[in-house]
Structure 1
Amino acid sequence: MAGKRIDEHTLEVLEFEEIRRTLASFAASDLGKDAARGLYPSVDLRWAAARMAETTELTKVLDRGERVPMAGLRDIRPVLSEFGKKQSVFEPAELMEIADTLAASGRLRLFLTNLEPAESAHLRAMGEKLGDFEATVEEVRRCIGGDKRVKDDASDKLREIRRKITQVSENLHQRFMNLVASPALKKAIENDNYMMRHGRPVIAVKSTHRHAIRGTVLDRSNTGATLYVEPDELVELSNELEDAVFEEKKEVGRILWVLTKMVLDQQDAILDSVKTLSLVDLTYAKARFSIAYGMNPPDLTTGSSLQLRDARHPLLLQLISRQKGCGVSQLTNEVVPIDVRLGDDFDLLLITGPNTGGKTVVLKTIGLLTAMAQSGLHIPARAGSRVSVFRQIFADIGDEQSIQQSLSTFSAHMRQVVKILERTNGGTLVLLDELGAGTDPTEGAVLATAILDRLMHKGGKVVATTHLGQLKSFAYSTPRAQNGSVQFDTETLQPTYRLMIGTPGSSNAIVIAQRLGMPKEVIGQATALLATESDGTSELINQIQATREDAEQKRSEAQSILDEADAARAEAAEKLRRIEEEGRHLRKQADREIDESMQAIRRVVDEFAAGMHNAPAAWSQKARTLAEQVAALASGTAMAQRHAEFIAGLRRGDGVFVIPFRREGLVERIRKSRGTIIVLVDSKEVEVPFRDVARPDGA
Structure 2
Amino acid sequence: MDKTFLKLELDKVLERLEEKCFSTLGAELARSLQPNRQLEEVYKRIKATSEAEQLLWRYPDIPLGNIYDIRPQVTRAALGGLLTGEELLQVTATLNGGRRLRQFLLGQEGNWPLLREMANRIGDFRDLEKAINQAIGPEGEVLDRATPRLLALRQQIRKTQEEIKERLDSYLRSAEMQKYLQDNLFTIRNNRYVLPVKQEYRHQVPGLIHDQSASGATLFIEPMALVELNNELRRLKLAEAREIEAILGHLSNLIGREKERLEITLVALGELDFTLAKGSLSREMAALEPRLNNEGRWRIIRGRHPLLKGKVVPVTLTLGESFDTLVITGPNTGGKTVTLKTVGLFTLMTQCGLHLPAGEGTEIDPTATVYADIGDEQSIEQSLSTFSAHMAQVVYILKKATRGSLVLLDELGAGTDPTEGAALAMAILDYLTGAGARTIATTHYSELKAYAYATPRVENAAVEFDSETLQPTYNLIIGTPGESNAFVIASRLGLASAVIERARNLLGEENQRVSRLIAGLAEDKRLSAREREQAEILRREAERARDDLEREKEAWQQQAAKEMEKTRQEARGLLRQARAEIREIMVRLEKALAEESLRGQQQALARAQRQLKELEDAIEASLNRYQPAAGSQPPANVRVGDRVFLVRLGQAGEVVSPPNEQGEVVVQAGILRINARLKDLRLVEMEAGTRPEREGIRNGWTVKTVDNNDIRPEIDLRGLTVEEACHRVDAYLDDAVLAGLNRVYLIHGKGTGTLRVALHDYLRQHPLVKGFRLGGAGEGGSGVTVVDISR
TM-score (norm 1): 0.73
Residues 412-451 of structure 1, C-alpha deviation per residue, up to 9 Å, x if partnerless? 1011111111111123111100001000000001111111
2:19 to 13, 25, 30: 25
Output the CA distance in 2 between the equivalents of 1:223 and 1:27: 57
Q: Which residue of 1 aligns with 2:191?
A: 199
CA contact (8 A) 2:186 2:196 kept: no
State yes or no: 1:357 paired with 2:334.
yes
Shift of 1:38: 2.1
Output the CA distance in 1 between the equivalents of 2:258 and 2:415: 62
- Of 91-100 and 205-214, more deviation after overlay is shown by 205-214
CA contact (8 A) 1:196 1:202 kept: yes
Shift of 1:225: 2.1
Shift of 1:535: 7.3
1:441 to 418, 421, 425: 418
Residues 595-644 of structure 1, C-alpha deviation per residue, up to 9 Å, x if partnerless? xx99xxxxxxxxxxxxxxxxxxxxxxxxxxxxx989x9xxxxxxxxxxxx
Sort the Cα spacing of 1:375 and 1:221 in 2 relative to 1 into closer, same or farther, 3 A: same
Q: Which amino acid aligns with 2:100?
A: R
Sort the Cα spacing of 1:133 and 1:84 in 2 relative to 1 into closer, same or farther, 3 A: closer
Output the CA distance in 2 between the equivalents of 1:457 and 1:254: 74
Q: Which residue of 1 aligns with 2:138?
A: 146
Q: Which residue of 2 aligns with 1:580?
A: none
2:292 to 300, 308, 326: 300
Aligned identity (percent) is 40
2:64 to 70, 76, 83: 70
* SS of alignment partner, residue 308 of structure 1: strand
Shift of 1:558: 8.5
* SS of alignment partner, residue 422 of structure 1: helix
CA contact (8 A) 1:295 1:381 kept: yes
* SS of alignment partner, residue 252 of structure 2: helix
Sort the Cα spacing of 1:90 and 1:43 in 2 relative to 1 into closer, same or farther, 3 A: same
Q: Which amino acid aligns with 1:297?
A: E
Shift of 1:37: 2.2
Q: Which residue of 1 aligns with 2:760?
A: none
Q: Which residue of 1 aligns with 2:84?
A: 91
Q: Which residue of 1 aligns with 2:7?
A: 13
Q: Which residue of 2 aligns with 1:112?
A: 105
Residues 293-350 of structure 1, C-alpha deviation per residue, up to 9 Å, x if partnerless? 2111111222222111111111113xx3xxxxxxxxxxxxx21111011112211111
Residues 2-30 of structure 1, C-alpha deviation per residue, up to 9 Å, x if partnerless? xxxxx811111111121112222222223
Sort the Cα spacing of 1:65 and 1:114 in 2 relative to 1 into closer, same or farther, 3 A: closer
Output the CA distance in 2 between the equivalents of 1:167 and 1:76: 39
Residues 108-145 of structure 1, C-alpha deviation per residue, up to 9 Å, x if partnerless? 1111222335x211111111121212221121111111
CA contact (8 A) 2:18 2:27 kept: yes
* SS of alignment partner, residue 203 of structure 2: helix
- Of 206-215 and 146-155, more deviation after overlay is shown by 206-215
Residues 79-99 of structure 1, C-alpha deviation per residue, up to 9 Å, x if partnerless? 3456689x8310000010011
State yes or no: 1:509 paired with 2:501.
no
State yes or no: 1:165 paired with 2:157.
yes
Q: Which amino acid aligns with 2:358?
A: A
Output the CA distance in 1 between the equivalents of 2:372 and 2:211: 75
* SS of alignment partner, residue 482 of structure 2: coil
Q: Which residue of 2 aligns with 1:338?
A: 315
Sort the Cα spacing of 1:135 and 1:555 in 2 relative to 1 into closer, same or farther, 3 A: farther
Q: Which residue of 2 aligns with 1:495?
A: 472
CA contact (8 A) 2:368 2:405 kept: yes
* SS of alignment partner, residue 446 of structure 2: coil
Q: Which residue of 2 aligns with 1:695?
A: none
Q: Which residue of 1 aligns with 2:386?
A: 409
Q: Which residue of 2 aligns with 1:644?
A: none
Q: Which amino acid aligns with 2:31?
A: R
Q: Which residue of 2 aligns with 1:381?
A: 358
CA contact (8 A) 1:502 1:549 kept: no
Q: Which residue of 2 aligns with 1:367?
A: 344
Sort the Cα spacing of 1:159 and 1:499 in 2 relative to 1 into closer, same or farther, 3 A: same
Output the CA distance in 1 between the equivalents of 2:484 and 2:130: 73
Q: Which residue of 1 aligns with 2:200?
A: 208
CA contact (8 A) 2:327 2:443 kept: yes
Output the CA distance in 2 between the equivalents of 1:124 and 1:211: 78
CA contact (8 A) 1:221 1:227 kept: yes
Residues 161-181 of structure 1, C-alpha deviation per residue, up to 9 Å, x if partnerless? 111111111111111111232
* SS of alignment partner, residue 353 of structure 2: coil
Output the CA distance in 2 between the equivalents of 1:513 and 1:93: 72
CA contact (8 A) 1:113 1:125 kept: no
1:530-545 alignment, distance < 5 Å? 530=507, 532-534=509-511, 536-538=513-515, 540-542=517-519, 544-545=521-522
Sort the Cα spacing of 1:278 and 1:424 in 2 relative to 1 into closer, same or farther, 3 A: same
Output the CA distance in 1 between the equivalents of 2:531 and 2:248: 75
Output the CA distance in 2 between the equivalents of 1:147 and 1:554: 74
Shift of 1:497: 0.2
* SS of alignment partner, residue 355 of structure 2: coil
Output the CA distance in 2 between the equivalents of 1:533 and 1:482: 22
Residues 329-376 of structure 1, C-alpha deviation per residue, up to 9 Å, x if partnerless? xxxxx2111101111221111101222211111111111122112111
RMSD over aligned Cα, in angstroms?
Answer: 3.0
Output the CA distance in 2 between the equivalents of 1:68 and 1:233: 63
Q: Which amino acid aligns with 1:392?
A: T
Shift of 1:524: 2.2
Residues 375-415 of structure 1, C-alpha deviation per residue, up to 9 Å, x if partnerless? 11111111221111134111111169xxxxx9961011011
CA contact (8 A) 1:103 1:137 kept: yes
Q: Which residue of 1 aligns with 2:31?
A: 37
Q: Which residue of 2 aligns with 1:219?
A: 211
Q: Which residue of 1 aligns with 2:52?
A: 58
Shift of 1:540: 4.8
Q: Which amino acid aligns with 2:179?
A: K
Q: Which runs of 5+ in 1 are unaligned?
A: 1-6, 321-333, 401-405, 573-596, 599-627, 633-699
Q: Which amino acid aligns with 2:102?
A: R
Larger Rg: 2
State yes or no: 1:273 paired with 2:265.
yes
Residues 470-501 of structure 1, C-alpha deviation per residue, up to 9 Å, x if partnerless? 11122122221111011111111110000000
1:548-697 alignment, distance < 5 Å? none
CA contact (8 A) 1:112 1:126 kept: no
Sort the Cα spacing of 1:171 and 1:468 in 2 relative to 1 into closer, same or farther, 3 A: same
1:253 to 245, 255, 260: 245
Shift of 1:72: 0.7
* SS of alignment partner, residue 240 of structure 1: helix
* SS of alignment partner, residue 464 of structure 2: strand
Q: Which amino acid aligns with 1:137?
A: E
Q: Which residue of 2 aligns with 1:397?
A: 374
* SS of alignment partner, residue 426 of structure 1: coil
Q: Which runs of 5+ in 2 are unaligned?
A: 378-382, 551-719, 722-750, 756-791
Shift of 1:55: 1.5
CA contact (8 A) 2:369 2:406 kept: yes
Output the CA distance in 1 between the equivalents of 2:437 and 2:37: 15
Q: Which amino acid aligns with 2:88?
A: L
Q: Which residue of 2 aligns with 1:469?
A: 446
Q: Which amino acid aligns with 1:377?
A: L
* SS of alignment partner, residue 394 of structure 1: strand
Output the CA distance in 2 between the equivalents of 1:138 and 1:544: 78
Structure ranking higher on relative contact order (CA contacts 8 Å, 6+ apart): 1
Output the CA distance in 1 between the equivalents of 2:99 and 2:331: 58
Q: Which residue of 2 aligns with 1:174?
A: 166
Q: Which residue of 1 aligns with 2:694?
A: none
Q: Which residue of 2 aligns with 1:455?
A: 432
CA contact (8 A) 1:311 1:337 kept: yes
